[in-house]
Amino acid sequence: MILFCAFEQMQYYIELGKRYGFKHYIPLIFRKNFSAQVLKANMKIVGNCEYGLVLYKDKLPKFNNDGQMIFNCFDWVRDGNDIPKIHPTQKPVALLRRLIEIFTDRGDVIIDPCAGSGSSLYAAASCGRRAYGFEIKKDFYKLSNEKMLSRIEQTLF
């Protein structure tokens, strides 16, 4: 399981994961070349990272790495104009695609319980994976279907 979270939330989710059988974890760091802390630009240091965890049970998750070393730090490259911006915490499709390629095989199923913009579903489809997403906000669900998921048929089929 991959979980995006704030740095301060990592320990909480590690402990919560252990309660549900996810005994092990790998911390992930997503390095941006920009910062959301623009109002603090007069400070010497501003945050430019997002964080996440790979939570797993007993055995190490699969890695599709073609013999390459996989670091726990990934570059966060913004989506281009071809990917619609729908949600304020939308993750870049290229980053999601890379994570999906590393941790899953073609034909695997991806589940996103907080699908928001649908970018994870789009990334999964572009990697040959089936995906299911859930979203409680009707506005995001509607925009996701109209602007993101409609692209799957246009670009992939």
What one-character-per-residue DSSP string does 95-115 give?
HHHHHHHHH--TT-EEEETT-
**Side chain identity, residue 27:** P
Could you tell me the pLDDT band of residue 73, with boundaries at 50, 70 and 90? very high
pLDDT at 95: 97
| Dist. CA 35–CA 154, nearest whole Å | 33
Considering the chain, what is the average pLDDT of its residues?
Answer: 90
pLDDT category of residue 154 using cuts at 50, 70 and 90 = low
Instruction: State how far the alpha carbon of 48 is from the alpha carbons of 96, 129, 145, in Å.
Output: 18, 30, 30
Q: Whole-prediction pTM value?
A: 0.88
Contact 121, 115 (CB under 8 A): yes
